[in-house]
Amino acid sequence: MSRSALFVFVALCFVTAVARAERPPESQDDATHVVVGEVAGVYVRETREQHDYVIKILVEKVERGEGVQEGDAFYAECFQRKRNAPRIPAPYGHTSVPREGDRIRAFVIRGGDRSEGIYKDWYVKVK
C-alpha cells in the first residue's frame, strides 16, 4: 500500500470515528419530560475527561412526561468535557449547567435509569 493510500485510509477511519462519537443535537420536541421548577441542588462528579452533573429540580409544573408530579424532586443529568481532556473522538457535552436557586424549564430524555438533558441546550431560565 502506498503512503498516500495509507494516509487516506487513516484519515477516513478518524473522520468516521468522530462522526460516530459526536451525538447529533436533539430538539426540545425530542424530550420525553418537560418540567418547570427551582434548582435545589447541583451535584458534580469529576473524571479525567469531564464533569458529570446531577441537577435536582423541585417540580412546580409538569408540561410533558409520565411519572412526575408537582412537588416531586426530579433529577436530570448533564455533562461537560474538560478543555484539557485528551483529544479523542467524543461529544463535548451540554452547553451550560444551571445554578442552585435558578428557576428553569428542563427538557429531558428519560429512559431506563437515566434522565439526561437533551443534547446540547437542555434548559431555559424562567421567571
Check: CATH 1.10.510 for 3-125?
no
Instruction: Tell me the pLDDT of the chain (127 aa) as tens digits.
Output: 566 655 544 444 444 444 434 566 788 899 999 999 999 999 999 888 888 999 999 999 999 999 999 999 999 999 887 776 556 555 566 778 999 999 999 999 998 877 888 877 899 999 8
- Host H or E run for residue 103: strand 103-111
pLDDT digits (tens, 9 = 90+) for 46-67: 888 888 999 999 999 999 999 9
Cα atoms in the Cβ-side hemisphere of radius 13 Å centred on 115 = 19
Domain ranges for the chain? 3-125
> Global pTM?
0.75
Q: Residue 31 — φ and ψ, nearest 5°?
A: -65, 135
Complete DSSP assignment for 58-94: EEEEEEE-SS--TT-EEEEEEEEE-TTS---S---B-
